[in-house]
Chain A
């Protein structure tokens, strides 16, 4: 056990690195597509779908456990949360397809979805 680094290690680490890269490609293969809506789920149940085009503030929950989500300039972010760690508030704003902000203590998940139909038909505004 006195050897520091051997041939086995090179093979093993190379294999792990390839595995990591493969998972990255598999999950992110879609590339960055601008999303159009956000879906909010609370405790695994659908809470609502909101458009990223409208500037709005969404307040979830009442009393002690609240999450305030704000949509501005086509991006969504968590403005305020009652959770103790505040990790969701520290997260960057989201706007790309499948990006998400998750508040684990309050079980709130915000996910960006892209409206596939609008890519085909287009919406005249």
Chain B
């Protein structure tokens, strides 16, 4: 357990660095809500190497800390909704043991953006926000694929080093 706590700390730091790097990269396509989501690499990796509970802890801590450092209260609300929905979907898909990390990550990427749009719709109480759903779903698909490839490779190569159970 002690070892696990140490790993959690390391991964939280890594996730925060990813969030920071992402703020530095000027990556904008003119549509709000589309980001690379580099920190999700760490979350997906943690889900596979450390466990479900740890991935949830990591995700919540990352959203709160990076929200306070780089964003605002609204950013925290969006990231939280997206992060929780995507992690829950990824956990359920992972439990089936039928799919590779890439597939799980793609589903997570799409779920992340759908979670955000649900919160956005509730906040502005206007359904025209729903018009962004297809764009955000495609974006989630693409970023989910990229993140899945990286997370899978990292997990297959160094995942066995973190077997602490």
Contacts and interface: CB of A to CB of B under 8 A. Distances in A.
A9 B138 CA distance: 18
A91 B156 contact: no
Interface string B92-129: 00000111101100110010000000001001111011
Nearest to A105: B74
A100 interface: yes
B68 to A, nearest CB: 14
A84 B130 CA distance: 23
Interface string A1-32: 11111101100110011001001100110000
Interface in B120-165: 120, 123-126, 128-131, 133-134, 137-138, 141, 152, 156
B73 to A, nearest CB: 10
A109 B124 contact: yes
A9 B102 contact: yes
A16 B141 contact: yes
A42 to B, nearest CB: 9
Interface residues of A, number: 36
Contact of B129 (A3, A99, A109): A109
Which bucket holds chain B's interface residue count? 20 to 34
**Which of the listed residues B31, B126, B129 has the most CB atoms from chain A within 10 Å of its own CB?**
B126
| Secondary structure of the B contact surface, majority rule | helix
A9 to B, nearest CB: 5
B128 A111 contact: yes
A107 to B, nearest CB: 5
Interface in B1-59: 28, 30-32, 48
B99 A12 contact: yes
Contact of B99 (A2, A8, A104): A8
B134 A44 contact: no
B121 to A, nearest CB: 10
B134 A102 contact: no
B124 A104 contact: yes
Which 8 interchain pairs have the tightest Cβ spacing? A44-B125, A87-B32, A24-B134, A109-B126, A100-B128, A9-B103, A111-B128, A8-B98
Interface of B: 28, 30-32, 48, 72, 74, 97-100, 102-103, 106-107, 110, 120, 123-126, 128-131, 133-134, 137-138, 141, 152, 156
